[in-house]
Every structure is written in structure tokens, then in C-alpha cells.
């Protein structure tokens, strides 16, 4: 009977609007929750088809389905902590995390969880995690700061990010630029011919301070100027053993006067005129010393009457203490030390799935891959479909309180209207019952 279907339709209307009210209340309650994705209730009509030409209509009612709008982002909120992280557009993506209780085993054996923001801090063991126990995952860097090639369709290469606040690090010297001016007057006939010493510091593999002892001895001709020097290089880490000897000839022409004309290797590593570098070997390993290319005004020169180290540059640093850690927009986690040394220690990838709204929602603004979301892929932040990773920021709630309050008014009116339908049906049924009297 259609009057009974009206009663059932009113009941489904009450239930559906109650579901919508629950979603609205959840959204308003989490209007201040970082990274919260709002829930939305969608109504679907249910149609019950009666017999054709029967002259009656049977009400089917309404059904509510609630889903979370995960691909909708909240505004960024600035903070003072470098490890408050958020994903910013254009683009999408989430950071991989695992619960603290799952640590200790292979990350690939535990379901990976995803989040768009987090306030990460190191615990007593240096593990980077949130107050709710979510541990950040990343790819560890090699000793030289490069990131190995890890698989992108599995979490097996990911590790919990661990930062030891008491760690020290040193950076051995591998490259050195020698910019020195030699006095042209010292290669002229009648000059004294004294050797000119130069000590250049470099850092060994263990962070120790070592030095290259360089001497420049001029060649004194009988007449005129030779414009020629003999350079010897000794290594303090090898008891001042001779590791290289070279004959330097300088150009005296008008256009290129004072620049290197040629370098002849007498012993030690070879000189490459294409790069202007010597391939030396110190106690800790290979060391590239750049003198300058022939005809190049940089590097070694022979001008005027002064001996001056004008530009000596090198990489490396002594052992230093950790002073800070930051994440750049590509997800590289970089540690800085009080010696000025900076080293990349992890890369935080961003996880993307074909259908973000198909992810399974969990507590603490975390999500898991499901059949509805499709398979995940690990991207470098800022590449492909992903956005950038930013520090000193949290993603705010995606709730629009004004819109939710408007929806609350509409839901209240709709609920009251459905209640009125039930009241009317009750009165009609009472009239039907009164017919027998």
C-alpha cells in the first residue's frame, strides 16, 4: 500500500539525514585538526517501480552514502619547526609512515600508511615521529649524499628516518683549487733563486687536518728571463713524502702574458691540460688539485714581483657537531654541522595512487592503499603528479565551517520535514482505523 511506503520513505529520510548530521558534526569537530579531510554525505534515491498503469505510486525513499574527500587540501599554516612537514600543490601525494609499534621488522612486511602532514620530532633514539606515534619513512643516502636507485612500486627500500642529535661528521677533501701568483722578477738573470714555500690545509678521511707543502723554485737563466718554475708537492700525512714534481712554464707574450704556457710532469700524478688539474694521491686517497688550463687567467699566474696566494679553495671540512636538519621541496633531508659541512642523509618520497578518494581512512589523518585506490607509486617530490614537500608548515583542516553550518541548517529542516511526513502518515492511518467505528 502506498501509504505504508510513505511511512518507510520518511523513516529512510530520517536515517539519511542523521548520517549527514554525523558527517557535519565530525567536520565541525575537526575544523582545527591539522590534515583533516572532510566527510561528505551523498543522498541516492531508491525507486520501486509499480505495475504499469496501476494508478498507484510506491515511495522508495532515500539512501545515504558517506565518503571522505581526500584529494581536497587544506591551507598551509606556518610553524617554527623545520620538521613540521606538509605537501603543497600544484600536485598531490602523501608521505609514507608506519606506526611506532610496527618498527623493528622489515618495513615492506607491514602495511604502509600515508599522511599529508605531520609534526615530526626525534625521540630518545633519534627516530623521527609524531606525538601520535607515526614514524616517517625515507630512503637512506650513501656516504657521499647520493640516493641509490630503490624500487618505486614497493616499500621495501624505505627505512625509518633516524637522526642522532649527538652525531658528528667529517668531510674529506677531494678537490683543491690552487690560485697563486708567482713573481716574474724571480726568473730573471741575476735573481736570488730562493724557493717560495706554501702550505695548504686539507682534511683527511678521519676529519684530521693535514697539509700539502708546496714549494716553487725558479729557474735562473744566464741572460733574460726563463719564466720557468719547478713545483714540488709533499704530503704531511705521509711524513712529507714527495707526491708530485712539475715544471711550470709561463707565457710572456703580449696577449697572454703571465698565464700558464705548459705543465710538464716530472713525477707523481699527471696534469690534464683540458681541465687544468693534477691527479694526486694523498694518504687518504685521490686528490684533484686544479692549477688552471694553459692560457687561463685563473689558477697559477706569473706577474709582477709579488708572491701571493690569491685564491685557494677546497671542499671538505673537519669533524663537526650536528646543528640542524631541514627538508627541501624535493624531499631531501639535509643535516648541517657547526663546521659549515652540509650532508644529505635521507630522501622522503611522496606516494601517489590513481584514486586518492578510494584510500581507506584511518585514525590520526592516515590512509592505506585499497582496491578502490589502486596501486601506489613512490615519486620524488615535485616530479610527476606530485606536489612539493615543505618544512616549517602544517596542512590545516579542509573543513569550511561556514559551509558546514549552512549544511547543518538544511539537514535540520530536512529531518524535521521527514518527521512531519511520518506524523502525517500516522494521522492518516488513524483515520483509516476510525472508518470501522
Mean pLDDT by runs of 10 across the 437 residues of the chain is 79 92 95 95 83 70 90 93 92 93 71 93 92 95 89 92 79 93 95 94 90 96 95 96 97 92 95 96 94 93 93 88 92 89 92 95 94 95 94 95 95 93 87 78
Model pLDDT, residue 45: 87
Tell the CATH topology of 175-315.
Tick-borne Encephalitis virus Glycoprotein; domain 1 (2.60.98)
Q: How far apart are CA 266 and CA 245, in angstroms?
A: 5
Q: Per the omega criterion (within 30 degrees of 0), is the bond before 303 cis?
A: no
Q: Per the omega criterion (within 30 degrees of 0), is the bond before 90 cis?
A: yes
Residue closest to 158 by CA, chosen among 229, 110, 221: 110
Which H or E element spans position 428? Answer: helix 401-434
Question: Which residues of the chain does CATH 2.60.98 include?
Answer: 175-315
Does residue 214 contact residue 179 with C-beta atoms inside 8 Å? no
Model pLDDT, residue 129: 95
CA torsion sign for 399, 405, 410, 414 is positive
Does residue 134 contact residue 366 with C-beta atoms inside 8 Å? yes
Model pLDDT, residue 402: 95
CA 292-298-303 angle, to 5 degrees, is 105
Model pLDDT, residue 54: 62
Model pLDDT, residue 131: 94
pTM: 0.74
Model pLDDT, residue 320: 82
Amino acid at each position: 500500500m502506498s501509504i505504508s511506503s510513505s511511512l518507510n520513505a520518511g523513516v529512510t529520510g530520517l536515517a539519511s539525514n542523521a548520517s549527514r548530521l554525523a558527517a557535519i558534526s565530525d567536520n565541525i569537530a575537526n575544523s582545527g585538526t591539522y590534515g583533516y579531510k572532510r566527510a561528505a554525505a551523498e543522498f541516492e534515491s531508491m525507486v520501486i517501480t509499480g505495475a504499469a498503469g496501476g494508478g498507484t505510486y510506491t515511495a522508495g525513499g532515500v539512501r545515504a552514502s558517506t565518503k571522505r574527500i581526500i584529494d581536497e587540501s587544506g591551507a598551509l599554516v606556518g610553524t617554527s619547526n623545520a620538521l613540521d612537514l606538509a605537501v603543497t600543490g600544484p600536485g598531490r601525494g602523501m608521505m609514507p609512515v608506519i606506526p611506532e609499534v610496527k618498527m623493528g621488522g622489515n618495513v615492506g612486511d607491514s602495511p604502509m600508511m600515508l599522511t599529508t602532514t605531520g609534526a615530526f620530532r626525534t625521540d630518545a633514539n633519534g627516530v623521527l615521529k609524531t606525538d601520535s606515534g607515526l614514524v616517517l619513512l625515507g630512503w637512506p643516502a650513501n656516504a657521499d649524499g647520493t640516493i641509490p636507485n630503490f624500487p618505486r612500486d614497493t616499500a621495501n627500500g624505505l627505512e625509518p628516518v633516524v637522526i642522532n642529535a649527538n652525531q658528528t661528521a667529517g668531510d674529506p677533501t677531494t678537490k683543491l683549487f690552487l690560485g697563486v701568483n708567482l713573481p716574474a722578477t724571480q726568473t730573471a738573470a741575476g735573481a736570488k733563486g730562493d724557493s717560495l714555500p706554501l702550505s695548504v690545509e686539507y682534511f683527511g678521511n678521519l676529519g684530521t687536518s693535514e697539509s700539502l707543502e708546496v714549494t716553487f723554485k725558479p729557474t735562473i737563466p744566464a741572460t733574460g728571463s726563463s719564466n720557468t718554475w719547478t713545483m714540488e708537492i709533499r704530503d704531511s700525512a705521509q711524513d712529507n713524502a714527495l707526491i708530485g714534481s712539475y715544471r711550470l712554464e709561463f707565457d710572456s707574450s703580449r696577449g697572454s702574458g703571465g698565464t700558464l704556457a705548459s705543465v710538464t710532469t716530472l713525477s707523481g700524478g699527471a696534469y690534464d691540460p683540458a681541465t687544468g688539474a693534477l691527479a694526486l694521491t694523498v694518504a687518504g686517497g685521490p686528490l684533484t688539485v686544479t692549477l688552471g688550463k694553459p692560457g687561463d687567467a685563473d689558477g697559477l699566474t706569473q706577474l709582477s714581483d709579488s708572491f701571493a696566494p690569491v685564491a685557494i679553495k677546497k671542499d671538505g671540512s673537519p669533524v663537526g657537531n650536528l646543528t640542524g636538519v631541514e627538508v627541501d621541496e624535493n624531499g631531501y633531508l639535509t643535516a648541517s654541522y657547526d663546521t659549515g659541512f652540509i650532508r644529505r642523509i635521507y630522501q622522503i618520497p611522496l606516494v601517489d595512487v590513481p584514486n586518492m578518494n578510494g584510500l581507506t581512512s584511518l585514525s590520526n589523518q592516515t590512509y592505506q592503499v585499497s582496491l578502490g585506490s589502486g596501486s601506489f607509486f613512490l615519486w620524488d617530490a615535485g616530479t610527476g603528479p606530485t606536489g612539493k614537500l615543505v618544512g616549517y608548515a602544517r596542512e590545516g583542516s579542509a573543513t569550511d565551517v561556514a559551509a558546514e553550518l549552512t549544511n547543518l541548517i538544511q539537514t535540520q529542516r530536512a529531518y524535521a520535514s521527514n518527521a512531519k511526513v511520518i506524523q502525517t502518515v500516522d494521522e492518516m492511518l488513524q483515520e483509516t482505523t476510525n472508518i470501522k467505528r
